[in-house]
A and B are shown apart, each in its own frame.
Chain A
Amino acid sequence: MARIALVTRGFMASLDERLCLESMGHKVALHADLARALDNILNDPPDLLMLEKGLAEGVELDIIRSLKENLQLAFLPILLVVERMELAVGLDWDAYAVDDILSAKATVEEVIARVELALARMRRVADNNPLTKLPGNSSILKTIQGVLDAGAPMAVGYVDIDNFKPYNDRYGFSRGDEVIRMLARILVNVVDEAAGEDGFVGHVGGDDFVFVVPLEAAERVCRETIRNFDRLIPLFLDEPDLEAGCFVAADRRGNRCEFPLTSVSIAVVVNADGRYSHYGEVAAVAAQLKKKVKAETGSAYLVDRRVADNGPPPA
């Protein structure tokens, strides 16, 4: 179910045609003038914009560009409706930053298919982190809330890299990106092997990740993630730092400072017996656990002990 803004004069102008879209569960708002519709679009963004070419000659390209450059609307799929003749002439697709085109003579079936496809594509990519291609915040939130709503005994792990800032300062962003990608791939592979389709990995951003796995897989995921990370991280460090066993850097006052080498910390919140009902509670518990696990030297994990009284204390 999506909210579709239709900015056309002739195309899909008949009520019958629009009803076909409505029958698919979508809500359609019809506008006849792009410049005037813009206000509506910006104030109350739709899920998809279908735009007939030539409705606002002169400002059309500017409007498309400003929509695409708007951070909140960057992922809004825009379908451009064009006459076949114009394709023969050729359009500058760098200027027409749209997501797909539709022939003005397209059948209703084709329109529906294109709309569904554009929406599906947006769901696939909109939220993904560009560096790791992992699902981002809204997917993470949705997944965790889904677990809470289902009352399933699941573990939510919060993963981040210790001393990532000194690493970035020392080696530069592009090598920092390598380390983030490394952790992302380790997590995905470990979660996949331990939990298969029941597992989820998301990338909050920067060096922060979240995984969700069935309770019984949680410890294994933590142990293997740490083992693999500790095994690979030396490949991303330079020999002198490895030998020194720390980063040596100057702090803001110019004092010599030693930072421990990069490691990984994992805080695991356990949801059993419907303990939590809201995402915010999980995040709050995670923040407390994180403080404790961060205090440990080297890579470490901590499973919320208030419930996990079975099993040994974390290493």
Chain B
Amino acid sequence: MTVSEERVQAIRHRLKEVQSLPTLPPIVSKLNRMVEDEEVTAEQLGRVIEKDQVLTSKLLKMVNSSFFGFPQRISTVSNAIVLLGFNVIKTLIVTSSIFEVMQESDVGLWEHSLGCATAAGILARRRGVKNPEEISTAGLIHDLGKIVVRSELPEDYARVQDLVAARQVAMREAELEVLGVGHGEIGGWLARQWNLPDRLVRPIEAHHHPETAGEFRELAAIVHFADILVRAVGFGFGGDPWVPPLDHEAWERIKFGRSVAREILAELDDKLLELQDFTMEIQRIGED
């Protein structure tokens, strides 16, 4: 086994112990406040939960666990909520672990994820994909790997960031050098370990090389392109300032003409503006 293989094995082993991931504190306080309000419905809670990549993946982990008995079936927050109900959601919120301090980079990555979810949803609807909500979910949690590395392997995460800054390389490139594996694969391992459906796992692990996603190539291509689009318009922060390279085969798969592109960008602009209101609100709660 080479050093790098050993390293990768060690990381996989480490992932087995990941029980929970940190959530942005303002989102949790907002949800906690909502839970105390008797008028609030599970659906309303769902609309806030589906704006957080960690809570969303936790909820999906829960509903796909063998305890509830629907392994690898449920891929969206709204469907998970129908099955889990208000009380379980409440428990999830109350037990969410929280970052002590909200870091600039956490907020940036969260905004990037939200933006990617939005763009993926727009592209999915354009292409007439059957379940656009599912692709939004994949977009939201596509960078799960970055969060795991940041919370479980903080020293490596710091080295990755140093490398990005010192050598001006993309985050994925730095990850491959430091960890021997990229965040896509890491996120995919975790998602698989949590019994999330393949329809989510494959796009997560393949969002930088969508053609490897087997029968879920189209979903992966959409997430891939959404990721790039959101980076290009400068919404949020994905860990490095560069737009990832476009996979040409993926582009062939989902490409559209100039006039459609203009419409898509206009729609994205509108939606991102709405999102900004929400992210500002959340950051204000964080400052209180």
Convert B48-87 into 0s and 1s, putting 1 for each residue whose CB lies closer than 8 angstroms to a CB of A.
0000000000000000000011100111000100111111
A262 to B236, CA, bound (A): 44
Knowing A181-B69, A189-B42, the reply to whether A231 touches B85 (Cβ < 8 A) is: no
Q: Are A189 and B69 in contact (CB under 8 A)?
A: no
What is the 8 Å Cβ interface bit string for chain A, positions 225-243, against chain B (1 contact, 0 not)? 0001001100110000000
In the bound complex, do residue B70 and residue A178 qualify as a contact, i.e. CB atoms below 8 Å apart? yes
A22 to chain B: which residues have CB within 8 Å?
A: none
Asked if B73 and A235 make an inter-chain contact with CB atoms under 8 angstroms apart, the answer reads yes
Whether B73 pairs with A236 at a CB distance below 8 angstroms is yes
* A177: B residues at CB distance < 8 A: 69
| Residue contact A192 to B73, C-beta cutoff 8 Å | no
Q: Which positions 230-278 of chain A face chain B at CB distance < 8 Å? A: 231-232, 235-236
Decide: A193 near B79, CB < 8 A? Known: A178-B70, A182-B70, A236-B73: no
B83 touches A189 (CB 8 A): yes
A185 at the B interface (CB under 8 A): yes
Any chain B CB within 8 A of the CB of A101? no
Size range of the chain A interface in the assembly: 10 to 19
Instruction: Please name all residues of chain B whose beta carbon is closer than 8 Å to the beta carbon of A181 when the two chains form the complex.
Output: 68-70
Is B97 an interface residue when CB atoms closer than 8 A count as contact?
A: no
Name A182's contact: one of B41, B83, B85 (CB within 8 Å): B83
Considering the chains assembled together, what is the distance between the CA atoms of A181 and B73 in angstroms?
13
Chain B: how many interface residues by the 8 Å CB criterion?
Answer: 15
**A191 and chain B: residue at smallest CB distance:** B85
CA of A235 to CA of B80, assembled, Å? 12
Any B CB within 8 A of the CB of A186 = yes
Q: A189 CA to B86 CA in the complex, in Å?
A: 7
Are A192 and B85 in contact (CB-based, < 8 A)? Answer: yes
Q: Does A188 contact B (CB under 8 A)?
A: yes
B73 and A193 form a contact (CB under 8 A): no
Q: Is the CB of B41 within 8 A of A231?
A: no
Hey, what's the 0/1 contact readout for B130-145 against A, CB within 8 Å counting as 1? 0000000000000000
Chain B proximity of A266: nearest CB distance (Å):
17
Chain A residue contacts of B83, Cβ below 8 A:
182, 185-186, 189, 232
Shortest B254–chain A CB gap in Å is 21
Partner of A188, one of B42, B70, B85: B85
A315 to chain B, nearest CB (A): 19
A178 to B69, Cβ gap below 8 A? yes
Residues of chain B with a CB closer than 8 A to A185's CB: 68, 82-85
- B217 CB to closest chain A CB (Å) equals 16
A29-56: which have CB < 8 Å to B? none
- A181 and B63 alpha carbons, distance in the complex (Å): 12
Q: For the complex, give the distance between the alpha carbons of A44 and B167 in Å.
A: 84
For B82, list chain A residues within 8 Å (CB).
185-186, 189, 228, 231-232
**B79, A231: Cβ atoms under 8 Å?**
yes
CB atoms of A189 and B85 under 8 A apart: yes
B41 proximity list for chain A (CB < 8 A) = 193
Contact with B along A68-90 (1 / 0, CB 8 A): 00000000000000000000000
Task: Return B174 CB to nearest CB of chain A, in Å.
Answer: 38
Complex interface: chain A residues within 8 A of B75 (CB): 235
> Are B73's CB and A178's CB within 8 A?
yes
Q: Is the CB of B84 within 8 A of A192?
A: no
* Chain B residues closer than 8 Å to A236, beta-carbon distance: 73
Report the Cα distance A121→B68, complex, angstroms. Answer: 22
By a CB distance below 8 angstroms, the chain A residues around B86 are 189, 192-193
Which residues of B in the span 83-113 have a Cβ within 8 Å of any Cβ on A?
A: 83-87
Top-10 shortest CB links A-B: A189-B85, A228-B82, A185-B83, A181-B69, A235-B73, A232-B79, A178-B70, A186-B82, A192-B85, A178-B69
Given contact pairs A189-B83, A231-B79, a sample of 6 additional A-B residue pairs in the complex whose CB atoms are under 8 Å apart: A178-B70, A185-B68, A185-B82, A193-B41, A232-B79, A235-B79
24 A-B pairs with C-beta separation under 8 A = A177-B69, A178-B70, A178-B73, A181-B68, A181-B69, A181-B70, A185-B85, A186-B82, A186-B83, A188-B85, A189-B42, A189-B84, A189-B85, A189-B86, A192-B86, A193-B42, A193-B85, A193-B86, A232-B79, A232-B83, A235-B73, A235-B74, A235-B75, A236-B73
